[in-house]
Structure 1
Amino acid sequence: MKGFDFDERDTVDTYHKQLEAMKLAFADGQKYIADPARSHVPIQALLSDSYAEQRRRLIGRSALEPAPGEPPQGGTVYLCTADADGHMVSFIQSNYMGFGSGLVVPGTGIALHNRGHNFSLDPSHANRLEPGKKPYHTIIPGFITHKDRPVGPFGVMGGFMQPQGHVQVVMNLLDFGLNPQAALDAPRWQWLKGKTVEFEHQTPAHLVQALARRGHDAQWALNSTTFGRGQIIWRLENGVLVGGTEPRTDGQVAAW
């Protein structure tokens, strides 16, 4: 590169990041890429912005030993819709773990879920396995009303983050007066077990520190892929519909 005007440090950093990114890409490729006619290749997951960000965060100042990652495996889809006549729908669909039960209804292409995973085999447990029994689960298509009038549908996907995300989004809307998009954009927390709580890195440090002083095992999350994915439609008193979509994953507000 003699004869070119460049900052050597910047150039080394650029080359380093390109090399590390290539190593990670090859590690994923060698594990996941195959003939799509003979095996399941998680193309959309591998190409998603959230997975790219997850892998990018592994790149530091020193060379790493490349290893394949775990692309996000989301079996849940949430959508909501509303029209000028006042009709509103809050809809959620989930296959749950992996690709559900792995069973497909013959001739339909419909995969059956495996929500029964949350049953217990302990005969004394309230959620014990029994014929015809509905398992405890986290499928929650939410809907807000006020004085018997519909305000709007909403939902936050993400396994056991789902009820936690619902509480936080509703709190943002009702207690803090945020609009639907701001309510979804706001940083979230996630209880994991015992006293352990994870916080998104956008959460104000003084809040996390104050909670830690109260005995919480407060931890910063390395990425936001586990903090749920939501959508909201909110009807104003004048009838105008306001939509919000999740910034942590693929989402869209569409009007027509």
Structure 2
Amino acid sequence: MLSYPATIPLSSRTLSHLAECIRGHRRQRRSRWRRLDPGRQALLTLAHLRNGDTYTRLAAGFGIGVTTAWRYVREAVDLLAAAADDLATAMERIRKLAYAILDGTLIPIDRVADQRPYYSGKHKRHGVNVQVIADAAGRLVWASAALPGAIHDLSAARVHGIIDALSSADVMTFADKGYQGAGGSVRTPFKRHRYRPKLSRRQEAVNRAHARVRARGERAIATLKTWKLLTKLRCCPRRATAIVQAILVLHRVETSPYS
């Protein structure tokens, strides 16, 4: 098998953070000798998450077995996911925002045996639903656990308690028409109904202004999907939550100079 040098578009700070997490975990477990040191295991994990490299390619590049590569990545992902903020912790930052932007995204997956719950009628494909909260500049603030793709965005937001949390904190939140009826502090555009008059000019103007604000939230989703593994998950859908949470932790380390 041929090999070639490649890069990962991340800073050394992110690599050092993950390596230190792995090193601490090994000390706690009094782990014996392993094929890869903490730094190499961290590099292996980042290559998988950011570049989307398969276990077969990683195993060949790092000179280890495929099963070992899978085990090392899973261990590192679980360590990162355990350090991710829950919604209550994230709300401490969100309530300080001028306003928030709420949107949902579908992360594609391979077909599974029980595929009906994961089929999104909106996107016409199988996947998992992740709710994303962005700030006024479109920066990624928080992402929810993954739910089956058949679940509607509004239902997913309610399951996670996002609507109640944002309303309790009185954070003005902009969302698309999929969140109609959310209530509280969530603002959605006017929606034309089939048997009602057309929208007025004022309502159309409000919708345009609303869309300009809401479009910034797409940047947060784009940021999340710069991690190539999320372009299509080929693992068990139940692992999607841990992967998204791990990526959130790495994103915060990468974007914060004080992490």
Answer with 1 or 2: which has the greater Rg. Answer: 1
Q: Which has the higher contact order (CA 8 A, sep 6+)?
A: 2
- Report the TM-score, using the length of structure 1 for normalisation: 0.24
Quick check: which one's helix share is greater? Answer: 2
